[in-house]
Amino acid sequence: MVTSMAAKQTKEMKIEEKKAILPPKSNFSEWYNELLLAGEIMDVRYPVKGLYVWFPFGFEVRKRTYAIIRELLDKDHKEAMFPLLIPETEFMKEAEHIKGFENEVYWVTRGGKNELDVKLALRPTSETAIYPMYKVWVRSHADLPIKIYQIVNTFRYETKHTRPLIRLREITSFKEAHTVHATWDEAAKQVDVAVQIYIEFYKRLAIPTIVSKRPQWDKFPGADYTMAVDTLMPDNKTLQIGTAHHLGNNFAKTFDIKYEGMNGEQEYAQQTCYGISERCIAALVSIHGDDRGLVFPPEIAPVQVVVIPVLFGKSEEIIKACREVAERLKDEGFRVALDESDERPGAKYYKWEMKGVPLRVEIGPRDLKNNAATVVRRDSGSKEIVPIDKLAEEIKKRVIDIHKSLLGKARKSMEERIFDCNTLDEVRDKISEGIARIPWCGEQECGLAMEETVGAGILGIPESELGRGYGSCPICKKETTSIAIMSKTY
Ligand code: P5A
Ligand code: ZN
């Protein structure tokens, strides 16, 4: 009896241990999956492929992340909400759009026992749900511009390998904006604004980005052109973490969105749309996390500071000091946890490190004697002794510094993995280590041949100096000043 209980306890301990220990981050795919579970971000055990469950902790991370995008958009967008179901008759209006999405659409064909007269699509994206309403809402140039966004779930029957937060069949956190303008140029400006908003958003998450114009064969179905925001993941593949599309008047024509211009003529409107999904959180946890677990920028972290009494025997004094410190920090506006549980300090460190808490404040007997606390940073592991009366002030400084160093480190890591190449052989050599830059004349035929030869995609010609250079196109040998970036992609 006693033996079996002991055995049971050992077994339970093993499970506990197993749950706590992550594979090394160098083993990215396994590390990622374990991290989502151990860090309580997503539960992947839901019994439908491509659908996952947000743990409450993960949902809090989501809430704080989406608060930032809301804050940025709310300056000159309005939030609204459109239906999930789209009648087939609307969905089938824009030819390119249908071609792009028909293999990914889930259809609702029955209501109870009745076959529906008109099938209903679960939105894979909401152009065809929103634009019939824009037709009604847009009357004159005075109604323009319209800038609306919604944060909703969308459904895509993805056939590529599904992965939590990265490739979902139910995208739970699709932020899509849809704008309407009088002129093509104005819409083009809005695409630039959208890209700037995303760059700013990702800076707040300490995630470096590369913006490029997608090649024509890779643009959004129904768009004039597509701008994309990518980041480089730890396994050297790029992840598309946002896109902004100039829709021209393609949808306006099919949905009959017209306004009366100054001169009384009816004109088709010009439109844009741009979106991000919970891929932003995939990038967040992947780029900053380490072998010990999650690492969050302080703005996102559900708990920003954990206070841990370091006790040898019982010490009412230390507990009291910790409570006071926790209260003080709360009053200063930090999100604080005080861990008074009976676990050993080491076990507590471990637990809060896994959760990505940016700062740990330890108070032990020696700290107490010196009226000080030990402050440990999650991102660097650095330990410093800080006088208790300076604690709030010092933590404020570190909160700013942690964000800066996370962004700096992530930028450096991405920059170190961008390689200048002159030949496709070089690209093939380097592509498993990151992003390759290579001259490209811009012709579709050459681009497709390059992709075929290397076995990796052209992301596009980047906006920045990354897209400028000099050399000859590896296929047609024409001299060119434009540089394409290529990578393995998710
Ligand atoms: C823009 C918003 C659109 O759907 N319509 C409204 C436009 N663009 S998009 O590129 O197809 O999608 C926008 C972003 O959503 C992410 N994404 C996904 N995330 C998780 N799982 C998926 N299956 C998935 N599909 C797209 C990408 O970041 C994409 O850029
Ligand atoms: Zn060429």
Tens of pLDDT, residue by residue over 349-390, are 999 999 999 999 999 999 999 999 999 999 999 999 999 999
The tokens of 280 are what? 């932003």
Ligand nearest to the CA of 441: 2
The tokens of 463 are what? 């906006």
The residue contributing the CA closest to ligand 1 atom 13 is: 275
- Edge-to-edge order in the sheet of strand 107-111: 85-87, 114-122, 107-111
Tens digit of each residue's pLDDT (9 = 90 or more) over 318-354: 999 999 999 999 999 999 999 999 999 999 999 999 9
Please indicate whether residue 241, judged by its CB atom, sits closer than 6 Å to ligand 1: yes
Q: Is the dihedral of CA 404, 464, 181, 273 positive or negative?
A: negative
The tokens of 52 are what? 């996952």
Ligand nearest to the CA of 482: 2
Please indicate whether residue 246, judged by its CB atom, sits closer than 6 Å to ligand 1: no
Ligand 1 centroid – CA 239 distance (Å)? 11
Report the atom number in ligand 1 closest to the C-alpha of 274: 1
In sequence order, the β-bridge partners of residue 229 are 211, 242
Please indicate whether residue 471, judged by its CB atom, sits closer than 6 Å to ligand 1: no
Which letter does DSSP use for residue 163 in this model? Answer: B
Ligand nearest to the CA of 123: 1
Ligand nearest to the CA of 156: 1
> From its phi and psi, is residue 80 left (phi > 0), alpha (psi between -120 and 50) or beta?
beta
Domain ranges (residues) in the chain: 28-288, 305-400, 418-487
**pLDDT computed for residue 20 by the predictor:** 54
Report the atom number in ligand 1 closest to the C-alpha of 176: 2
Please indicate whether residue 274, judged by its CB atom, sits closer than 6 Å to ligand 1: yes
Q: How many CA atoms lie less than 13 Å away from 292 in the CB half-sphere? A: 19
Report the atom number in ligand 1 closest to the C-alpha of 178: 6
Which residue has tokens 């450096």?
A: 412
Ligand 1 centroid – CA 235 distance (Å)? 21
The residue contributing the CA closest to ligand 1 atom 2 is: 275
Angle at 437 between CA 434 and CA 443, to 5 degrees: 125
Please indicate whether residue 154, judged by its CB atom, sits closer than 6 Å to ligand 1: no
* Strands 238-248 vs 270-276: parallel, antiparallel or unpaired: antiparallel
Please indicate whether residue 213, judged by its CB atom, sits closer than 6 Å to ligand 1: no
Continuous segment of H or E residues that includes residue 54 = strand 53-54
Report the atom number in ligand 1 closest to the C-alpha of 169: 23
Q: Are residues 84 and 209 in contact, defined by beta-carbon separation less than 8 angstroms?
A: no
The residue contributing the CA closest to ligand 1 atom 24 is: 167
**pLDDT computed for residue 15 by the predictor:** 45
Whole-angstrom CA distances from 104 to 101, 122, 218, 360 are 5, 10, 16, 46
Please indicate whether residue 361, judged by its CB atom, sits closer than 6 Å to ligand 1: no
* CATH code for the domain defined by 418-487: 3.30.110.30
Ligand nearest to the CA of 154: 1
Please indicate whether residue 167, judged by its CB atom, sits closer than 6 Å to ligand 1: yes
The residue contributing the CA closest to ligand 1 atom 17 is: 277
d(CA 402, CA 399): 5
Ligand nearest to the CA of 476: 2
Q: Which residues of the chain have pLDDT under 50?
A: 1-3, 5-6, 9-19
| CATH entry, 305-400, from 3.40.228.10, 3.40.50.800, 2.60.40.1120, 3.90.950.20 | 3.40.50.800
Ligand 1 centroid – CA 487 distance (Å)? 19
* Strands 418-420 vs 435-439: parallel, antiparallel or unpaired: parallel
Ligand 1 centroid – CA 462 distance (Å)? 19
**pLDDT computed for residue 315 by the predictor:** 86
Contacts of 337 (CB under 8 A, 6+ apart): 303, 305, 306, 307, 326, 352, 357
Q: What CATH architecture does domain 28-288 belong to?
A: 2-Layer Sandwich (3.30)
Query: Exposed, middle or buried, 7 (CB in 10 Å: 0-12/13-18/19+)?
Result: exposed
d(CA 54, CA 168): 13
Look up residue 68 and give its amino acid.
I
d(CA 302, CA 335): 7
Which letter does DSSP use for residue 161 in this model? Answer: P
d(CA 327, CA 323): 6
Please indicate whether residue 168, judged by its CB atom, sits closer than 6 Å to ligand 1: yes
Please indicate whether residue 294, judged by its CB atom, sits closer than 6 Å to ligand 1: no
The residue contributing the CA closest to ligand 1 atom 11 is: 220
Whether the domain at 28-288 and the domain at 305-400 fall into the same CATH topology: no
d(CA 33, CA 19): 12
Give the other-Cβ count within 10 Å of 86's Cβ: 25
Q: How many CA atoms lie less than 13 Å away from 480 in the CB half-sphere? A: 21
Ligand 2 centroid – CA 221 distance (Å)? 25
